[in-house]
């Protein structure tokens, strides 16, 4: 049996990855979310706890990796995020590969914020970028509890520019409204169904 069709979904912070991935799930697509995998890895008994404790003992609170402690470290040390990624990304890739091995759906979607940055686009059959205006992106992200303009800018500086992601992706879904996103999802699914026919 040929392996399932793999869609790589990406987009910068607040562009609508999770919401759009949910729309693909409504079409019967099995979805894997990298950020959710990181939450599992950071949780108590998560596979990242021991290696992160070795890397940065004060990052562990109540047996789990504390994001607040990580953010304090990142804010004070330019090398911190790269060192965290070196520990976490291989564990995220293992989680992704296990999902792909065990999945039974004909179409899989991988919601990966760093799809192009970490080269996992090469593993996909089709790449999709979600995007809207900078203004709408900023409005959405600054709405979040505890988010500041400085934190938003810092995260953006760590991500490939939206324009480059749009240029590299096979398809772009406009997430300015729920209707535009849903129409984009349907278009991609029509294309995938044609390829699988």
Ligand X SMILES: CC(C)(COP(=O)(O)OP(=O)(O)OC[C@H]1O[C@@H](n2cnc3c(N)ncnc32)[C@H](O)[C@@H]1O)[C@@H](O)C(=O)NCCC(=O)NCCS
Ligand Y SMILES: Nc1ncnc2c1ncn2[C@@H]1O[C@H](COP(=O)(O)OP(=O)(O)OP(=O)(O)O)[C@@H](O)[C@H]1O
Which does residue 88 touch among ligand Y, ligand X, none (CB within 5 to 8 A, set by kind)? ligand X
Which does residue 81 touch among ligand X, ligand Y, none (CB within 5 to 8 A, set by kind)? ligand X
Residue length of the chain: 197
Closest approach of Cβ 16 to ligand Y, in Å? 3
Annotation: binding site for ATP: 14-19
Closest CA to 165 of 1, 8, 2, 6: 8
User: Considering the rule CB under 6 A, would residue 193 count as an interface residue with ligand X?
Assistant: no
Report the alpha-carbon distance of residue 70 to residue 76 in Å, rounded: 10
32, 46, 60, 113: residue in contact with ligand Y (rule CB under 6 A) = 113
Report the alpha-carbon distance of residue 90 to residue 41 in Å, rounded: 11
DSSP letter assigned to residue 123: G
Binders of ligand X among residues 93 to 112 (CB under 6 A) are 112
Which does residue 128 touch among ligand X, ligand Y, none (CB within 5 to 8 A, set by kind)? none
Q: What are phi and psi of 73, to 5 degrees?
A: -65, -45
């Amino acid at each position: 049996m040929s392996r399932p069709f793999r869609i790589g979904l990406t987009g910068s912070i607040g562009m609508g990855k999770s919401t759009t991935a949910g729309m693909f799930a409504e079409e019967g697509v099995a979805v894997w979310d990298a950020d959710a995998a990181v939450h599992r890895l950071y949780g108590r008994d998560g596979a990242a706890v021991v290696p992160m404790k070795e890397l940065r003992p004060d990052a562990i609170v109540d047996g789990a990796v504390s994001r607040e402690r990580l953010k304090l470290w990142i804010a004070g040390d330019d090398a911190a995020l790269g060192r965290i990624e070196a520990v976490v990304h291989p564990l995220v890739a293992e989680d992704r590969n296990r999902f792909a091995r065990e999945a039974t759906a004909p179409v899989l979607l991988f919601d990966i914020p760093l799809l192009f940055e970490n080269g996992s686009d090469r593993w996909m059959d089709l790449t999709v970028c979600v995007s809207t205006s900078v203004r709408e992106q900023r409005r959405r992200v600054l709405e979040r509890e505890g988010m500041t303009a400085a934190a938003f800018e810092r995260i953006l500086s760590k991500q490939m520019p939206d324009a480059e992601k749009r240029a590299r992706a096979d398809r772009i879904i406009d997430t300015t409204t729920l209707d535009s996103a849903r129409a984009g999802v349907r278009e991609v699914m029509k294309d995938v169904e044609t390829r699988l026919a």
